[in-house]
Amino acid sequence: MTVHVPEPAPTVVKTTCPYCGVGCGVLATPDGQGGAAIVGDPEHPANFGRLCSKGSALGETLSLDGRLLHPAIDGARASWDDALDTVAGGLARIAAEHGPDSIAFYLSGQLLTEDYYVANKLSKGFIGTPNVDTNSRLCMSSAVAAHRRAFGSDTVPGCYEDLDEADLIVLVGSNTAWCHPILFRRMVDARARRGTKLVVVDPRRTQTGEEADLFLGLQPGTDTALFSGLLVHLADLGALDAGFVEAHTAGFDAALDRARTIAPDVAATARATGLAEADVAAFFALFAGTARTVTAFSQGVNQSAQGTDKANAIINCHLATGRIGKAGAGPFSLTGQPNAMGGREVGGLANMLAAHMHFAPEEVDRVRRFWDAPRIVTGEGLKAVALFEAVRAGRIKALWVMGTNPIVSMPRADIVRAAIAKLDLYVVSEAVADSDTARAAGRTTVLLPALAWGEKDGTVTNSERRISRQRCFLEAPGEARADWAVLSDVGRRLGFGGAFAFEGSAAIFREHAALSAFENGGSRDFDLGGVRDISDRDYAAAPPLQWPMPRARSREGRARLFADGRFYTFDGRARFVAVQAPALATTVTEARPFVLNTGRVRDHWHTMTRTGKSQRLSAHRAVPFVEIHPDDAASLAIANGDLARVSTEAGSAVLEAMVTESVRPGTLFAAFHWSDATASDARVGALVRGVPDPVSGQPELKATPAAIEPVAYRSRGFLLTRDARTLPQGWWWARATIQGGSGLHFATQEGPRAVALMMRGLFQGLDLAEYADHGRGRYRCAAYDGERLVASLALGPSAARPAWEQAKAYFAADTLEPAARRALLSGRAETASAGPTICACHGIGLDVITAAITAGASSVEAVGAACKAGTNCGSCIPEIRKLLPGALARDAA
Ligand SMILES: Nc1nc2c(c(=O)[nH]1)N[C@H]1C(S)=C(S)[C@@H](COP(=O)(O)OP(=O)(O)OC[C@H]3O[C@@H](n4cnc5c(=O)[nH]c(N)nc54)[C@H](O)[C@@H]3O)O[C@H]1N2
Ligand SMILES: Nc1nc2c(c(=O)[nH]1)N[C@H]1C(S)=C(S)[C@@H](COP(=O)(O)OP(=O)(O)OC[C@H]3O[C@@H](n4cnc5c(=O)[nH]c(N)nc54)[C@H](O)[C@@H]3O)O[C@H]1N2
Ligand code: SF4
Ligand SMILES: [Mo]
């Protein structure tokens, strides 16, 4: 008799996506070998089971390749004890010699709340330095400042259900379809269900703009004029909520007077923004006539030298119409990072203290008593741009960077790198070994390996104030440790053992919640009193929770705030803000006639330390690019696909030109994802000027005066290899992960002869199949180890750069049939390309989708049925829709 032993059911762990601020719930099923199957959590209120392309590909990013697994001191592997002694000893010495404020921390909206809380407590309460800032300064500090000016607190008034229940959604400076894809799906669903109108305000016609009912392609930086004009229009039309304005606000008259000086009517608004009068009028009419309006905004608003005013100009219009905190209505700051909000909650920005408290004497005293802090800071510290300037000036001697890659993501990134070299003590807590920031060095450099997603345990807060658990489902690799534990160890070494004796993330969360409720009594919005004594077990099992939840032992949060008209200012009234007129358009010069805009692509996350590991995600945009309008490209003799040098007063980079009408004439757009680890010369952060907003200190990342010129190379090509490679100095290259290995697009002044010599040198001892046509400047080479294809190179004149899709498919297949070997060598592979990838989930290229459309597929659904594109996560649906014949009709309309 055989006994049937049932397989143990795989454990499914509920966790949260580590990418954007939508905060989607994820179900992870570990495979026992370091990987995991990933699906959306149908019960999570952010996504109800859906995931976008990045979330769907999380399983491809879990390998330990490239991970930092051991501490290191000055490049040599070290024990944790030695590393922590070096950090604590260095901090103590520097504080003694130069004062505690010569120590700085640069943190991240990708840390868990528990990590962030301990970092903030250690630095501001115990080491006694106010110089604690975070990459969130580059991300949403203008939204924070605008909220505080208008509401007296950093409160997001609404929730995601408002997007389901709105009749009008205005997206300002937000490429939601690519950057908050699951929220965008909710918006598109609302349109299908209730006819919600979508207005998109962006100088660039993004995929989000393509989906809009009304696209307002305004001149860069002119949003305050648009919303000033709207405020005037609402007032003149009598479309205000006069009762609300009268009872619950202050400053309306001054704000309106100022608005009249900026944009007195529709015609003036059109002039100030570069929009057509009819479009402005249509927008104003829609806004005035639609009570259920949500205005959602992100980096086109925040990352601006006038970002705080832009956000307040938007909020003014919502206050004026009383559209705040009501179902389907409100201004809505979409947060970028998974825990941008958590960072604000703990007070991780230089102008905050803790738990939404700032530096009023009674607040400082309250936090001091709660922490029993020996060296509480009493005022604001340096904000990111000023902080790195202080490093450069030698005033900051020790810097601890945690969970961010500033050598890529800061404006003037070359200066940031040079500054770091001056530090006495440079500490980097990182999950990967080869980020540009981890490769930099100070006089003493300590690298501390951090747990990554899937290994760490704690909480994150999404854009709608919802706290979700990130849970671990993988073993800690190597010697990597939780950031909070490392910070606590340093706290103990500095002699503050009692304050850092946390046993786990639940204990930290309890303390954080208790501080939020401490002497609160309704005076502060951020209140987690309901979970201040949550047990370890309840914390482990906690479902997503929304704050505020002030009532003791009640987990019921509030979805919306301010509908009652009570704000957190001293008199309880919201404030209108008299904003400044836009001043940006005048900054270009003859030498630098373009405005360089920067941002993101659909399938990459920031500096690519994670999405760069996924071959699916690396297929959508495989080279660093710059978008340029056809008229500008023609006048500069830049053809689509050419390489071009973009330069600004701060630096330069060489990017592939994408000639497209999606950018306005006179503007350029580049994504900032590529680093020195992934490309030879494509760090866009090095170009960005980064003038800080005077109120928030958030640097302008969307408008830097720039020049662009073509760069001539003799040859272009690609090289596919099993391990990641770099190419000789002077070559241009960009790397992308491909199935079964790594791919490089490159350009060089060499021709076939030199490249053949290089290949023979690199793959000595293997079978090389080569083809050369010196007259035409072509060369192809495949290297085989027995049956296995281990490298494939194609080289051509730079005007006809070879496409790599088919070669990639052969490379993925590993061993090749003779016919395939011949195709690879003959170059037929290069012409039989499927085109650039559109659908990352199924790996479907442009040409396949166009073929399906030519064969009769006339809707997104029909394309999906024909070739599967768009049928998994749906992130590519806007791109597919744009290819349909109907889209042409819409453009013409
Ligand atoms: N795929 C992907 N998604 C992400 C991220 C990622 O790296 N990749 N990062 C996450 C993070 S941290 C963030 S902060 C968010 C950012 O999300 P978004 O803010 O949507 O992204 P960006 O591309 O930075 O910028 C948004 C838009 O602002 C526009 N813009 C530029 N200047 C102006 C202007 O003067 N006025 C207006 N109205 N618009 C302007 C740009 O053209 C751009 O389309 O995305 C999050 N989601
Ligand atoms: N030009 C330009 N620059 C920009 C922007 C732009 O639009 N244009 N956007 C800005 C914005 S909004 C943002 S948010 C920033 C983002 O910029 P960064 O924060 O610099 O980018 P990331 O690549 O997300 O860096 C996160 C790092 O933390 C590491 N990491 C991941 N998990 C952990 C962990 O648990 N612990 C530790 N210690 N490390 C971890 C990752 O390996 C990675 O190296 O870029 C800003 N810079
Ligand atoms: S929208 Fe995509 S990236 Fe953002 S949290 Fe959801 S799955 Fe992750
Ligand atoms: Mo961000």
Q: What is the DSSP string of 752-770?
A: HHHHHHHHHHHTTTSEEEE
- CA 680 – ligand 1 centroid, Å: 25
**How confident is the model at residue 893, as a pLDDT?**
32
- Same domain flag for 727 and 705: no
- Stated as kind and residue range, the H or E segment containing 508 is helix 505-517
> Measuring from each residue's beta carbon to the nearest atom of ligand 2, which residues come in under 6 Å?
108-110, 135, 138-139, 299, 303, 336-337, 402-406, 408-409, 429-432, 435, 450-452, 456, 483, 598-599, 606-607, 609, 672, 684-685, 688, 701
**How confident is the model at residue 830, as a pLDDT?**
63
**How confident is the model at residue 886, as a pLDDT?**
65
Q: Please indicate, yes or no, if residue 543 is contained in any of the structural domains.
A: yes
Query: Counting runs of H as helices and runs of E as strands, what totals does the chain give?
Result: 34, 34
- Same domain flag for 294 and 167: yes
How far is 321 from 453, CA to CA, in rounded Å? 42
Integer CA distances (angstroms), 139 to 215, 241, 293, in order: 24, 32, 24
Looking at ligand 1, which atom is closest to the CA of residue 206?
44
Domain boundary among 278, 303, 333: 333
Q: Give me the chain's average pLDDT, please.
A: 95
- CA 698 – ligand 3 centroid, Å: 24
Looking at ligand 1, which atom is closest to the CA of residue 52?
1
Closest C-alpha to ligand 1, atom 7: 605
How far is 621 from 604, CA to CA, in rounded Å? 8
Looking at ligand 3, which atom is closest to the CA of residue 46?
6
Looking at ligand 1, which atom is closest to the CA of residue 208?
44
**How confident is the model at residue 486, as a pLDDT?**
98
Q: What are phi and psi of 38, to 5 degrees?
A: -120, 130
- Same domain flag for 53 and 110: no
- Same domain flag for 218 and 327: yes
Q: Please indicate, yes or no, if residue 52 is contained in any of the structural domains.
A: yes
Looking at ligand 2, which atom is closest to the CA of residue 609?
42
Flag whether pLDDT at 889 surpasses 90: no
Write out pLDDT tens, residues 622-653: 999 999 999 999 999 999 999 999 999 999 99
Write out pLDDT tens, residues 533-551: 999 999 999 999 999 999 8
Which ligand gives the minimal distance to the CA of 605?
Answer: 1
- Same domain flag for 191 and 201: yes
Alpha helices in 57-202 (DSSP H): 80-98, 113-121, 141-151, 161-165, 176-179, 181-194
- CA 598 – ligand 1 centroid, Å: 8
Flag whether pLDDT at 585 surpasses 70: no
Write out pLDDT tens, residues 144-176: 999 999 999 999 999 999 999 999 999 999 999
Strand order in the sheet with 715-721: 732-738, 741-748, 715-721, 788-797, 778-785, 767-773
Which ligand gives the minimal distance to the CA of 468?
Answer: 3
**How confident is the model at residue 801, as a pLDDT?**
79
Tokens of 666: 């006179």
Q: Please indicate, yes or no, if residue 730 is contained in any of the structural domains.
A: yes
How far is 85 from 764, CA to CA, in rounded Å? 47
Residue 744 · residue 804 · CB < 8 Å: no
Which ligand gives the minimal distance to the CA of 55?
Answer: 3
Flag whether pLDDT at 890 surpasses 90: no
**How confident is the model at residue 888, as a pLDDT?**
42
**How confident is the model at residue 835, as a pLDDT?**
72
Radius of gyration of the chain (CA): 27
**How confident is the model at residue 552, as a pLDDT?**
83
- Same domain flag for 518 and 369: yes
What CATH number should be reported for the domain holding residue 105?
3.40.50.740
Domain span holding position 242: 141-333
Q: Please indicate, yes or no, if residue 310 is contained in any of the structural domains.
A: yes
> Measuring from each residue's beta carbon to the nearest atom of ligand 3, which residues come in under 6 Å?
17, 19-20, 22-24, 47, 51-52, 54-55, 180-182
Our mutation pick for probing the ligand 3 site, out of 15, 16, 24, counting the most ligand atoms within 8 A of Cβ, is 24
What CATH number should be reported for the domain holding residue 53?
2.20.25.90
How far is 182 from 20, CA to CA, in rounded Å? 10
Overall number of domains in the chain: 6
- Same domain flag for 347 and 476: yes
What CATH number should be reported for the domain holding residue 738?
3.30.390
What CATH number should be reported for the domain holding residue 666?
2.40.40.20
Q: What is the DSSP string of 270-332?
A: HHHHT--HHHHHHHHHHHHH-SSEEEEE-HHHHSSTTHHHHHHHHHHHHHHTT-SSBTTBEEE
Which ligand gives the minimal distance to the CA of 23?
Answer: 3
Closest C-alpha to ligand 1, atom 33: 300
Residue 623: how many other CB atoms lie within 10 Å:
22
Flag whether pLDDT at 887 surpasses 60: no
Our mutation pick for probing the ligand 2 site, out of 607, 675, 704, counting the most ligand atoms within 8 A of Cβ, is 607
pLDDT over 70, % of the chain: 97
What CATH number should be reported for the domain holding residue 223?
3.40.228.10
Residue 170 · residue 302 · CB < 8 Å: no
How far is 181 from 191, CA to CA, in rounded Å? 15
Integer CA distances (angstroms), 661 to 631, 633, 702, 796, in order: 9, 11, 18, 28
Which ligand gives the minimal distance to the CA of 682?
Answer: 2
- Same domain flag for 537 and 681: no
Q: Does residue 77 sit in helix, strand or coil?
A: strand
- CA 688 – ligand 1 centroid, Å: 15
Our mutation pick for probing the ligand 2 site, out of 112, 333, 344, 409, counting the most ligand atoms within 8 A of Cβ, is 409
Strand order in the sheet with 13-16: 13-16, 25-30, 36-40
> Measuring from each residue's beta carbon to the nearest atom of ligand 1, which residues come in under 6 Å?
20, 139, 172-176, 178-179, 201-204, 206, 220-221, 223, 298-300, 336-337, 597, 599-600, 602, 604-606, 702
- Stated as kind and residue range, the H or E segment containing 795 is strand 788-797
Q: For residue 846, what pLDDT band results from cuts at 50, 70 and 90?
A: confident
Q: Please indicate, yes or no, if residue 647 is contained in any of the structural domains.
A: yes
Mean local confidence (pLDDT), 30-37: 94
Flag whether pLDDT at 445 surpasses 70: yes
- CA 142 – ligand 1 centroid, Å: 14
How far is 177 from 870, CA to CA, in rounded Å? 13
Integer CA distances (angstroms), 371 to 348, 485, 536, in order: 16, 18, 21
DSSP state of 66: T
- Same domain flag for 434 and 548: yes
- Stated as kind and residue range, the H or E segment containing 632 is helix 630-635
Mean local confidence (pLDDT), 668-685: 98
Closest C-alpha to ligand 1, atom 18: 174
- CA 334 – ligand 1 centroid, Å: 10
Closest C-alpha to ligand 1, atom 4: 179
Q: Is the entire prediction scored with pTM above 0.75?
A: yes
Write out pLDDT tens, residues 84-133: 999 999 999 999 999 999 999 999 999 999 999 999 999 999 999 999 99
Closest C-alpha to ligand 3, atom 6: 24
Flag whether pLDDT at 832 surpasses 90: no
- CA 623 – ligand 1 centroid, Å: 19
Closest C-alpha to ligand 1, atom 28: 300
Calculate the CA dihedral of residues 91, 95, 97, 103 and round it to 10 degrees: 80
What is the longest distance spanned by two Cα atoms in the chain? 91
- Same domain flag for 108 and 180: no
Domain boundary among 695, 710, 725: 710
Residue 92: how many other CB atoms lie within 10 Å:
16
Our mutation pick for probing the ligand 2 site, out of 399, 609, 655, 674, counting the most ligand atoms within 8 A of Cβ, is 609
DSSP state of 39: E
Q: Please indicate, yes or no, if residue 891 is contained in any of the structural domains.
A: no
Domain boundary among 554, 585, 606: 554
- Same domain flag for 127 and 160: no
- Same domain flag for 400 and 306: no
Q: For residue 842, what pLDDT band results from cuts at 50, 70 and 90?
A: confident
- Residue 347 — left, alpha, or beta (φ > 0 → left; ψ -120 to 50 → alpha)? left
Which ligand gives the minimal distance to the CA of 298?
Answer: 1
Residue 178 · residue 48 · CB < 8 Å: no
- CA 12 – ligand 1 centroid, Å: 33
Mean local confidence (pLDDT), 520-532: 96
Closest C-alpha to ligand 1, atom 2: 179
What CATH number should be reported for the domain holding residue 858?
1.10.10.1100
Mean local confidence (pLDDT), 177-181: 97
Mean local confidence (pLDDT), 878-884: 88
**How confident is the model at residue 2, as a pLDDT?**
55
Residue 870 · residue 863 · CB < 8 Å: yes
Look at 522 and 587; give whichever has higher pLDDT.
522
Flag whether pLDDT at 366 surpasses 50: yes
- CA 829 – ligand 2 centroid, Å: 37
Closest C-alpha to ligand 2, atom 27: 404
Q: For residue 188, what pLDDT band results from cuts at 50, 70 and 90?
A: very high
Tokens of 374: 């020996």
Q: For residue 6, what pLDDT band results from cuts at 50, 70 and 90?
A: low
DSSP state of 127: I
727: buried, middle or exposed (CB in 10 Å: 19+, 13-18, 0-12)? middle
Q: Please indicate, yes or no, if residue 570 is contained in any of the structural domains.
A: no
Q: For residue 789, what pLDDT band results from cuts at 50, 70 and 90?
A: very high
Q: Please indicate, yes or no, if residue 574 is contained in any of the structural domains.
A: no
